């Protein structure tokens, strides 16, 4: 889905050295030395080394890595809260590292809104005034910014809390204010720095879900930093894996799970709960036989016995799923001399989309002993999932 999108930000050869002699450190880097050796030889810390990637318009890009991997440095280089040592960051034709102070100010106002790990709300301002901050400093007039801030607060489900002070809110609500402050600003890129890491797990899940919905609605280009792979896999359209200031892998969540670039990534994904990552698509098998809507009961009975089945899906010519016919019902219909199976078609079986996570499928097996039909958005039959296949898929991915 992301192939057709245009590029919003291009990052090329971005490096950051912490210390007073960055040139020296970069020279050693170019000779092939790694971060620890450079630190030992020069006392300079190589925070980021030669980072290049694209951010596509409207995508949710996750940058993930453990602490010290340089992810916070990277996101701060984008809006120059930290000055990059070398490299280009091009957004809408402007090269951010080359901007002077005044241009940088305008660039930050127009392009970037940021959400922070510990919320960073202004404690002396009400929720409403916090949400207005970005507009206020841009000189947007009072009526307009009040309206925009209200809209943003509504988006995050905080209407009615405008006059509260941040200290009166729970952590989750505070971060909603943080999000509203960023959204109200109407900038083109949303930077989220470990935005949900300070929240407890349940609220965190909710916030991830809401972010996804919001993202779906508003199509805002979002760069999300996290150290949590589950979170990255859950929300990211694409994921950049960072280690020691270098990119290890860029790819969709599935790329990363199925083709880990190296040992580091593989070790990372070991702990992931595969049942939440793998979907019905991974576990489904092709349907061995289907019946047509104009088949008679005897035809159906023959197909059943040929394939050793006790029930069969009935589809149109275009493979649109109509229902299921059970063997005993077909047998009865044949005995009664019926010409059509329409009367014995029924809907009493589970059906899911191909992106349904496997862990949701378990519950369906408990209710019914029937296999699960996997259909696309046009109700076309794609395949079938039987209980054994789910378990097999999980076991297999665990070994990878």
> By rule CB under 8 A, what string of x and - marks binding of each residue 128-157 to another protein?
-----xx-xxx-------------------
Burial (CB count <10 Å: 0-12, 13-18, 19+), residue 69: buried
Q: How far is the CB of 197 from another protein (least distance, A)?
A: 13
106 touching another protein, by CB under 8 A:
yes
79 touching another protein, by CB under 8 A:
yes
Bridge partner list, 17? 46
Piece of 29-37, 106-114, 293-301, 357-365 that binds another protein (CB under 8 A) = 106-114
Nearer residue to another protein within complex by CB, 122 or 270:
122
108 touching another protein, by CB under 8 A:
yes
N-term to C-term CA, the chain: 27
Nearer residue to another protein within complex by CB, 73 or 275:
73
Piece of 26-34, 122-130, 287-295, 379-387 that binds another protein (CB under 8 A) = 122-130
Nearer residue to another protein within complex by CB, 10 or 118:
118
CA 249, chain centre distance (Å): 16
Residues 6+ apart with CB under 8 A from 210: 156, 157
* Interacting residue with another protein among 66, 105, 212, 343 (CB under 8 A): 105
Nearer residue to another protein within complex by CB, 114 or 248:
114
Residue 101 Cα distances to 17, 66, 82, 98, 106, angstroms: 21, 32, 13, 10, 9
Nearer residue to another protein within complex by CB, 103 or 376:
103
What does residue 381 show for φ and ψ, rounded to 5 degrees? -75, 120
Total residues contacting another protein (rule CB under 8 A)? 25
In the DSSP assignment, the letter for residue 166 is G
112 touching another protein, by CB under 8 A:
yes
Nearer residue to another protein within complex by CB, 69 or 79:
79
Which 3 state secondary structure label does DSSP give 360? helix
116 touching another protein, by CB under 8 A:
yes
* Interacting residue with another protein among 185, 222, 275, 315 (CB under 8 A): 185
Tokens read off for 160:
């009615």
81 touching another protein, by CB under 8 A:
yes
Q: What DSSP element (H or E) covers 94?
A: strand 94-95
Piece of 22-30, 116-124, 264-272, 286-294 that binds another protein (CB under 8 A) = 116-124
Burial (CB count <10 Å: 0-12, 13-18, 19+), residue 347: exposed
Q: How far is the CB of 165 from another protein (least distance, A)?
A: 9
* Interacting residue with another protein among 13, 36, 123, 353 (CB under 8 A): 123
Q: Contact at 8 Å (CB) between 328 and 346?
A: no
Nearer residue to another protein within complex by CB, 138 or 292:
138
103 touching another protein, by CB under 8 A:
no
> By rule CB under 8 A, what string of x and - marks binding of each residue 253-292 to another protein?
----------------------------------------
Angle ∠(206,187,9) on CA atoms, nearest 5 = 95
* Interacting residue with another protein among 120, 164, 203, 334 (CB under 8 A): 120
Which contacts (CB < 8 Å, 24+ apart) does range 208-217 have? 208/234, 208/235, 210/156, 210/157, 211/60, 211/179, 211/235, 212/60, 214/155, 214/156, 214/179, 214/183, 215/60
109 touching another protein, by CB under 8 A:
yes
191 touching another protein, by CB under 8 A:
yes
* CA 219 – CA 58 distance, rounded (Å): 5
Tokens read off for 80:
């120059």
Which residues form the interface with another protein (CB under 8 A)? 79, 81, 105-109, 112-114, 116, 118, 120-124, 133-134, 136-138, 181, 185, 191
């Amino acid at each position: 889905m992301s192939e057709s999108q245009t590029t919003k930000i291009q990052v090329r050869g971005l490096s950051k050295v912490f210390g007073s002699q960055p040139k020296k450190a970069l020279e050693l880097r170019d000779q092939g030395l790694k971060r620890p050796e450079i630190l030992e030889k020069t006392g300079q810390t190589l925070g980021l080394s030669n980072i290049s990637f694209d951010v596509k318009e409207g995508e949710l890009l996750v940058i993930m890595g453990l602490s010290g991997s340089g992810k916070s440095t990277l996101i701060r280089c984008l809006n120059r809260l930290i000055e990059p040592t070398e490299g280009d960051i091009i957004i809408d034709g402007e090269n951010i590292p080359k901007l002077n102070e005044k241009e940088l100010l305008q660039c930050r106002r127009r392009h970037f809104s940021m959400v922070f790990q510990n919320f960073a709300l202004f404690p002396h301002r009400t929720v409403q005034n916090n949400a207005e901050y970005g507009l206020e400093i841009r000189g947007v007039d009072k009526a307009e910014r009040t309206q925009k801030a209200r809209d943003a607060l509504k988006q995050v489900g905080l209407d009615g809390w405008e006059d509260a002070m941040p200290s009166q809110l729970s952590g989750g609500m505070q971060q909603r204010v943080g999000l509203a402050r960023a959204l109200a600003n109407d900038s083109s890129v949303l930077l989220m720095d470990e935005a949900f890491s300070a929240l407890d797990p349940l609220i965190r899940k909710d916030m991830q879900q809401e972010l996804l919905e919001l993202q779906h609605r508003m199509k805002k280009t979002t760069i999300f930093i996290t150290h949590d792979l589950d979170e990255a896999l859950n929300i990211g359209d694409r994921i950049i894996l960072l280690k020691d200031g270098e990119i290890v892998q860029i790819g969709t969540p599935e790329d990363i799970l199925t083709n880990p670039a190296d040992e580091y990534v593989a070790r990372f994904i070991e702990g992931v709960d595969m049942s939440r990552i793998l979907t019905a698509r991974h576990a489904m098998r092709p349907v061995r036989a289907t019946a047509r809507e104009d088949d008679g009961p005897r035809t159906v009975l023959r197909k059943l016995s040929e394939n050793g089945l006790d029930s069969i899906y009935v589809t149109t010519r275009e493979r649109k799923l109509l229902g299921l016919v059970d063997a005993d019902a077909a047998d009865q219909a044949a005995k009664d001399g019926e010409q059509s199976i329409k009367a014995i078609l029924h809907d009493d079986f589970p059906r899911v989309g191909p992106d349904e996570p496997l862990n949701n499928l378990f519950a369906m097996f408990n209710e019914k002993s029937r296999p699960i039909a996997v259909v696309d958005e046009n109700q076309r039959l794609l395949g079938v999932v039987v209980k054994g296949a789910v378990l097999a898929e999980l076991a297999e991915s665990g070994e990878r």
